[in-house]
Structure formats: structure tokens, C-alpha cells
Amino acid sequence: MLDELRIQNLGVIADATLPLAPGLTCITGETGAGKTMVVAGLGLLFGGRASRAPIGTEKALVEGRFLIGEGALELRERAVEAGAELDEGELLLSRTVSPEGRSKAWVGGRAAPVGVLGELGALAISVHGQSDQMRLLQPAEQRAALDRFAGPDHGKILDDYRAAHAELGACAAELARLRTSARDMAREADTLRLGLEEIAAVEPQAGEETELAEEARRLENAETLRQAAATAHGTLTGDPSTGDGGAADVVGSAARALENEAAADPKIGEFASRLSEAGALLSETAVDLSGYLDELDADPARLEEIYQRQAALKTLLRKYAEDLTGVLEWAENARKRLGELDVSDERVAELEARHGELQARAGELASRLRASRRSAAERLSETVSAELKGLAMPHAEVTAAVEPRPAGRGGIDLAVDEAVSGATEDGADEVELLLRPHPGARPAALHKGASGGELSRVMLAIEVVFAGIGGPPVLVFDEVDAGVGGRAAVEIGRCLAKLARRYQVLVVTHLPQVAAFADRHLVVSKDTSGSVTVSGLRVVDDAERARELARMLAGMPDSHLGVAHAEELLAEAAKLKG
């Protein structure tokens, strides 16, 4: 239940607090006083689009205190998720808008995204205005309304159908893609296969180009390498033919000369040790050079083989990547892409078979959906027609007609109930609400067959029916009684009072017959001072309430006859409520 609403700097309302109560609250006031600002404030509080605050003000502010009942579990859970701490079920919401258009929101005293207010609003409050009536005249909205009325079992069928429709659409799109793009995909596949064949013929190995380059340089410089190695080897080992010793022998002799005197001075021993190590290293190097000379051999055939291999690898590098690792990655990706480019007749045939299966499945679900809608349409028609009898339309009948959509008018065509219908994600049906105001008239679409007053009552009857199947605990009606007067207005008030037994109902109205049924009556009044018009709000009771109804009845709040008429109206409303 919405316990209190404060509005500041919104439209002509400078600062007003609405003390709300359970049951039916009616809001009245002169034209231009700002009654609709109450509804605008509720919309702003629950995440609606925000206009800029008036220039010269710090900000526009809307605050609301909501009392969450034990039955509103989903609302309570969402509020807690948003960070609100509920003190005995009390939820505080607020929103501000700056003159520059910047908007801020708070949930339970904590800053929150404006979208959270919208989510809470969907669970807490339902606003019905003349724009909602106009929206309900659209066939798509009427179909959606019938689906909501049909209940959860119907909703499961609708969900299953939508899933099948989506899968069918995806299959059809893939099949069309294969058929229309087969030539391009075949050309791409041929290019990939040729590339893979070329790479497979070479069989490159990662890092192979570096190894080949090193081996080629060694073979290309084999003679100069041999000369350098031989010279170095001779220098280290000496010349056996002449008996001359090499560097290794000289260093060894120097080491031995020092070792003989090492006992006399430790430093001499250190030098001897270092020379011994150098001599050993020179000897090992001489041995390694000897082995290198034995292995080193100019091999023109091997060099030519390397040149050919390098040329083959360069061709791959020029076409596919900067190095052989990249070439191998290209090949792996090409193999994966080939799997995606399967344009074989078998794949097309497989998709065609799947498409047929999905068509049959979607058609069967569309048939079940139509049967469920027609069953719900009968119940909706009976229930709304019964409500109209209590709204001074005793002979009126509302019919929810469910007819097959003509072929070619949906995204796809489906065989439904042995006939072809155009199908969308919402099914293969067209739903339209028809009104027959009296037995002698022919049923006609609401926007064609109903006057303004009749339309208001039909829409109210529909809202009452939908409220009976659940929904948010707070219902707001913004001048949905337009075009109604006399006894019909009394019946609308009685209907709203009946609805207020189960919900908290807020009504912005210009009809005294409706306001007479209020459990709490709020009046928005304007005060003009110079060029500035501001509005205030107050609760009226007893004599003051009778004067307000007298003003609404005849524009004469101070007339004794007008007040007497208003008091009679209040007594009649109390009697009907009782």
C-alpha cells in the first residue's frame, strides 16, 4: 500500500504531500489545478521519463512511503536486493531531477539506478489512463491482454510456441543462407582446400626456417671454416713434423715451472693453478676442433636441397603468414572454417528435413495456442459482459474474437488446423475485442462501435476483470471516466469502490458521482499570485467534502441546494457501498 506521496516543484505543484489510505482515494480539483501531476509524480517515482525541473528551483522531488504487505513477496525480495532495509515492511523511495535534467534515485535511503525504480514499480503499482485505453484498442495489445487473462498454463503453451518459432526461424535463415550463398561458400571452400593441400605438400615444421638458414650458412662457408679451424687447431697442438709445441704445450710448461716454486710462495701456486686450467681448456678445444674438422664437409647436393626447401617455405610465408608458426595456425583455422562451409547436398537435405519437422511442431503448438485462446476468449467475454451490466450497460456484450491470420501476413506461414495461416512469434491468430451495445446492433470493433462513454466503461470493466486475476497492489486510474455522466457515472464509482475492497485504488476524476464513493477524498486547489500559479492539496471531510462535490456538480460550492444535492449523493454512495 502507498502510504504517503510528496511532490515538490513538479508542474504547478510547488510542495504537496498526499496522505493516502487503504481503499478508494479520489483526487479532484478544478481544471488546470494539477490533478494529473499526481499521476505524473507516481510515474516519475517509479522510473518514468523525467522532464527538467523548473528553472529557478534546485530540483524536482518525488518521495513515497510504501507499506509492503505479507503477500507481496516478490516486491519485498526485489527491494531487499536493491539494498533497502525494510523496517516493518516500510519501503522509502525517492527521485530527484535537476533543472539540467540529471536524475537520481534512492531505494530505502540508498542510491540506486533509476531502472530499479521501474522494476519495483512494475510490482507495486499499475497506472491506467486514457492513453492506456487507446493502446488497448490496438489488436496486438488485445492479443497480449487475452494471453495474460488466459493464465499460466496458456503462458506455458505460448512460451513453447515462441521457442519453436524462434528455432524454425533460425533453421529457415540457415537454409536460405546455404541456398543463396552456396556459390560464394563453394569458392571460399575451394580456396581453403588448395591452401591446405599446398601446406600439406610442404609439411612445414615450426622454427624450421631458422635451422635451415644456419645449416646453409655453414655449408656455404665450408672451406673458409675449415681453414680457420685447421689454423686454430695447429696453433693449439703445434707441428709434429718439426717437433714444435703448440699453445697448449707452452702453457703447460709455464704451469709446471710455477708449480716447482709454489711451496715458496702461495701466490705462485695460484698462478700455476690458473695456467693449468687454461692449458686443460686449450687441450679440450683442440680436441673439439679436430672433431669439427672431421665432420665439416662441403656437400653441394645438401646445400641445393636446403635452397629448394627454403624456397618452398618462402612461398608459404608469402601467402599465409609471417612465420611457419603462423602458417600452421592458418591451416588449423582453415580446417575449422571448412567445417562451417559444408555446402554439400547432404547438409542442405538435413536442414530441409529439420525445417519440415520444426514447421510441423510450430503448427501443432500454434493450434494448441489457438484453442487455448478461444477458450480464454469465451471466459473473458462472459466476465467483461457481466461487469458491464453493473456499469449501466445491461444489454451490452463484449466478444473477444480469435480468428486465423491470413496466409502471407506473418513472418512465416504455418499449417494450423488444416489451413495455412500467417504466423509471428505470438502465434497464428488475430484477436479483436468487439462490442455489441444492445441486442439489435451488430458487433463492431471497439474503436468503431463504442461512444466515448461506452469505451470508458468497457475499458474499466476490462481493468476490473484483469485486477481479479492478480497484479500490483496499487491501482491508479487517471480520468478513465471521461465521456460518462448520470447513472453510468454512479455505477463506475460503485465499481471502483468494489475494486478497492481488494486493492488500494487511486482515482483522478472530474465526476462527483465517482468521488462520492471515496474512502478518502483529496482536493488539488490552485492559487494564483501575480503571474505565478501554484497548487496545494488537502484532505476534505464532511461539510467541506459536500462543498467540493457541489462545486463539481454545478460549480456552486456555496449553494444550499448544491450542497444538499451533494449530501444526497454521498448518502446514496454510502448505501451502495454498504
pLDDT digits (tens, 9 = 90+) for 33-70: 677 788 888 888 888 777 777 776 788 888 988 888 77
The reported pLDDT for the residue numbered 122 is 83
> 243 by DSSP, 3-state: which?
coil
Say what angle helices 152-180 and 345-389 make with each other, to 10 degrees: 150
CA distance 458 to 435: 9
**Cell reading at 195:** 591452401
Sequence-ordered alpha helix ranges (H) in 242-299: 247-259, 266-295
State CA 546 to chain mean position distance. 51
C-alpha cell at 496: 471502483
Q: Cα separation of 148 and 424, whole Å?
A: 18
- Indicate the domain borders of the chain: 208-322
For the chain (578 residues), the mean pLDDT of every run of 10, in chain order, is 84 81 89 77 82 77 86 81 80 87 86 87 80 74 90 94 95 85 79 90 83 74 72 72 66 78 77 82 80 70 78 86 88 87 73 93 95 95 89 87 91 91 93 87 80 78 78 81 77 87 89 91 75 68 89 81 88 85
Cell 491506467 -> residue: 128
Q: Which of 145, 58, 132 is nearest to 102 (CA)?
A: 58
* Grid cell at residue 130: 486514457
455 in Cβ contact with 423 (< 8 Å): no
Residue 534: the pLDDT is 59
**Identity of residue 196:** L
Neighbouring-strand partners of residue 91: 66
E strand or H helix at 96, and its extent? Answer: strand 90-97
Separation between Cα atoms, residue 126 and residue 468, nearest integer Å: 13
Cα separation of 253 and 245, whole Å?
A: 10
Helix (H) or strand (E) holding 14: strand 13-19
What are residue 540's DSSP bridge partners? 521
Q: What local confidence, expressed as pLDDT, does residue 298 receive? A: 65
What is the model's pLDDT at position 3? 86
**What type of residue sits at position 486?**
G
pLDDT at 244: 63
Q: Give the model's pLDDT for residue 59.
A: 86
pLDDT at 169: 93
pLDDT, residue 427, reads 93
Q: What is the pLDDT of residue 243?
A: 54
What was the pLDDT predicted at 24? 92
* HSE-up of residue 576 (Cα within 13 Å, Cβ side): 22
Three-state DSSP state, 32: coil
Query: Model-level pTM?
Result: 0.62
Consecutive H or E run containing 60: strand 60-67
Neighbours of 440 (CB within 10 A): 7
Element (H, E) at 325: helix 324-340
Q: Which residues contact 91 (CB under 8 A, 6 or more apart)?
A: 65, 66, 67, 68, 79, 84, 107, 108, 120
Which H, E and C letters describe 415-464, residue by residue?
Answer: EECCEEEEEECCECEEEEEEEECCCCCCCEEHHHHCCHHHHHHHHHHHHH
Whole-number pLDDT of residue 416: 93
Q: What are phi and psi of 219, to 5 degrees?
A: -70, -35
109: left (phi over 0), alpha (psi -120 to 50) or beta: left
